[in-house]
């Protein structure tokens, strides 16, 4: 999740194909239909689109997986913003 967040530029929608490639094509954790179902679920719930990461984490390792996936997908951006704020970058 952290790798996906670090290498995705262009907003949340840029993350989705990267997630699909990692989880469906490369790691084979999910099939394409299950991933798309999770994406559809993420579209109808309030909050960010990258909540799809929580769905994947939940399917793989339950509640702990969902928590770890959610923290991991938001951590790189959060850390970068902390450093940018400290350096006064706007």
Query: What confidence score (pLDDT) does residue 90 get?
Result: 65
- 56-80 core/surface letters (b: 16 or more CB in 10 A; e: else): bbbbbeeeeebebbbebbbebeeee
CA atoms of 24 and 19, how far apart (whole Å): 8
Residues of the chain whose pLDDT is less than 70?
Answer: 90
Token pair, residue 59, equals 């399917």
The model's pTM is 0.80
Query: What confidence score (pLDDT) does residue 43 get?
Result: 86
């Amino acid at each position: 999740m952290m790798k996906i967040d670090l290498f995705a530029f262009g907003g949340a929608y840029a993350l989705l194909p990267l997630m699909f490639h990692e989880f469906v094509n490369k790691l084979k954790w999910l099939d394409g239909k299950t991933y798309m179902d999770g994406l559809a679920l993420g579209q109808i719930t309030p909050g960010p689109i990258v909540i799809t990461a929580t769905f994947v984490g939940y399917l793989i390792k339950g509640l702990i997986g969902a928590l770890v996936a959610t923290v991991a997908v938001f951590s790189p951006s959060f850390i970068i913003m902390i450093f940018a704020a400290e350096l006064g970058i706007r």
